[in-house]
């Protein structure tokens, strides 16, 4: 199928893009890399009357450290996130995830802001965004908002973004002490989307115990989530093979899993437990 007719406008600033969204009264969509929106339009799952292209706004494409924060502009491509020295030093799980998205063409065009705003339940970024306790900075008619990652992903393809609001930046706290992070996934072979993906951030104290543990899971439920029960079982403990296995058995506690032609619900729940453990092991090794 092909998309229905639409009006196309190139925005020269974020403020202009917000104004254009207001002008169209909820009947317009933001276009960045287009790898999520355009396929939906071709299938007529999305039928906007207008597209507002923000892909040429230069002040939205950056990765930098600003004090105790890693700041990533919404138009930073997956390739930029994957190869950024700042990201590799301070939030390696995010770089891991970016490098596993699609293929090289997708990674050179798709953007981190577009991906998280789309909130596909099988997307790679949300697991790391949650595990790092990131903040999503948005701009809308009421001005700027800072949304904690824990509040951002609401449901399948649904976020806390309000009408006429656009993702401007992702902020990730610089990790302190002896900290490592990692993201691993089982991918659907054709699309590369996660059947299950797990991100872990682990800080070790002077005795080798896990002073901080955060685990984000994607691809399993209708939205990405934190494996809080597993985190509680690991925090303050010295890592052993048996402890990691027992604690990560709780990684999918209370989760209602998706089921489709690629994996059953039970299989996804089991993958969550396995990949949570593997991600924690990799994070500990990096720490």
Q: Tens digit of pLDDT for each residue in 152-190?
A: 999 999 999 999 999 999 999 999 889 999 999 999 998
Contacts of 261 (CB under 8 A, 6+ apart): none
* Per-residue confidence (pLDDT) for residue 36, from 0 to 100: 87
Q: To the nearest whole percent, how much of the chain has pLDDT over 90? A: 93
* Per-residue confidence (pLDDT) for residue 35, from 0 to 100: 84
Q: What share of the chain is helix, strand, coil (3-state, %, to 5)?
A: 35, 30, 35
Element (H, E) at 170: strand 166-173
Q: Which domains does the chain possess?
A: 7-53 (3.30.43.10), 58-173 (3.30.465.10), 178-286 (3.30.390.50)
The owner of tokens 């039970």 is 266
Angle at 119 between CA 44 and CA 56, to 5 degrees: 75
Averaged over 113-133, what is the pLDDT? Answer: 97
pLDDT tens per residue, range 186-223: 999 988 999 999 999 999 999 999 999 999 999 999 99
Is the pTM higher than 0.85? yes
Res 97 pLDDT > 90: yes
Structure tokens of 63?
């990765």
Res 1 pLDDT > 80: no
């Amino acid at each position: 199928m092909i998309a229905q007719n639409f009006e196309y406008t190139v925005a020269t600033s974020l403020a202009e893009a917000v104004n254009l969204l207001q002008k169209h009264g909820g009947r317009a969509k933001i276009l960045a890399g287009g790898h999520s929106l355009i396929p939906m339009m071709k299938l007529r799952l999305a039928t906007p009357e207008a597209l507002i292209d923000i892909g040429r706004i230069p002040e939205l494409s950056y990765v930098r450290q600003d004090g105790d924060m890693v700041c990533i502009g919404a138009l930073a491509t997956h390739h930029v996130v994957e190869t950024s020295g700042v990201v590799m030093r301070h939030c390696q799980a995010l770089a891991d995830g970016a490098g596993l998205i699609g293929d090289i063409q997708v990674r050179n065009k798709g953007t981190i802001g577009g991906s998280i705003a789309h909130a596909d339940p099988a997307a790679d970024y949300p697991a790391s965004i949650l595990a790092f306790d990131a903040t999503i900075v948005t701009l809308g008619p009421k001005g700027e908002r800072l949304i904690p990652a824990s509040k951002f992903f609401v449901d399948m393809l649904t976020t806390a973004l309000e009408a006429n609001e656009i993702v401007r930046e992702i902020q990730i706290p610089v990790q302190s002490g002896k900290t490592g992070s990692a993201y691993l996934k089982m991918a659907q072979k054709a699309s590369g989307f996660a059947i299950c993906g797990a991100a872990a951030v682990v800080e070790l104290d002077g005795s080798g115990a896990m002073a901080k543990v955060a685990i984000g899971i994607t691809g399993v439920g209708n939205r990405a989530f934190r494996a809080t029960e597993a985190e509680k079982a690991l925090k303050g403990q010295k890592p052993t093979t048996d402890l990691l296995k027992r604690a990560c058995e709780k990684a999918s506690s209370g989760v209602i899993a998706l089921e489709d032609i690629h994996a059953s619900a039970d299989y996804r729940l089991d993958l969550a437990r396995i990949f949570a453990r593997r991600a924690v092991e990799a994070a500990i090794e990096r720490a």
